[in-house]
Amino acid sequence: MGYFQLIRADGSSKRYSSMIWMLQNIDREDLETLWKLVKAKHGNTRLEEAYERVLRGDLKVMFEPDVESKVWRNLQGHNVTVWKLLSSSGVHFVRFQNLHIFMLVEKKYPLTPATIIKTLNKKLQNDHWNEMCYQLLKLMTKHRKNPGSV
């Protein structure tokens, strides 16, 4: 079975069986460092290992959203099944019927109005209450009062 293994500069390491488990257990600084390392190591080369492809793909969508990417086109018509905020890393996890995406809280992504509405109508799950949750609730309230404002 494949896994992600993060090895820190001090030699300590931890294994994660999925991206979501990793994002629940690392902070934002570690996430940004991981993206820099993955980009430097792999650039645009074709990766053979499935977990390396998944890691680079998920991080690229998260840090460098491209409106032309097929990821955003594939979201059309899919229902949102889970919307979760991973507070330690500042990442939204959105699961659709057949796929998922990770999005940084402060970035804007090329989501269609229909996808935004489906996401906002899904109950937000969060590991603990914080300022980020408050701001998302304000956004949801604003959006419900004025649907074209997001």
Dihedral (CA of 23, 28, 34, 36) sign? positive
**Using CA atoms, how far apart are residues 42 and 120, in angstroms rounded to an integer?**
35
- 55: in domain: yes
Examine residue 84 and state whether it is found in any structural domain, yes or no: yes
| Residue 50 lies in domain | 4-145
Distance, CA of 17 to CA of 128 (rounded, Å): 23
Asked if residue 65 belongs to a domain, the reply is yes
122 domain-assigned: yes
Q: Which residues contact 136 (CB under 8 A, 6 or more apart)?
A: 85, 124
> Number of C-alpha atoms within 13 angstroms, CB side, residue 49?
9
38 inside domain: yes
Low-confidence stretches of the chain (pLDDT < 70) are 1-2, 44-52, 126-150
Q: What is the pLDDT of residue 1?
A: 47
The answer as to whether 150 is a domain residue is no
Residue 44 counted as domain residue: yes
Is there a domain that residue 66 lies in? Answer: yes
pLDDT score for 36: 92
- Per-residue pLDDT tens digits for 23-40: 888 889 999 998 998 888
Q: How many domains does the chain have?
A: 1
Provide the greatest CA pair distance for the chain. Answer: 51
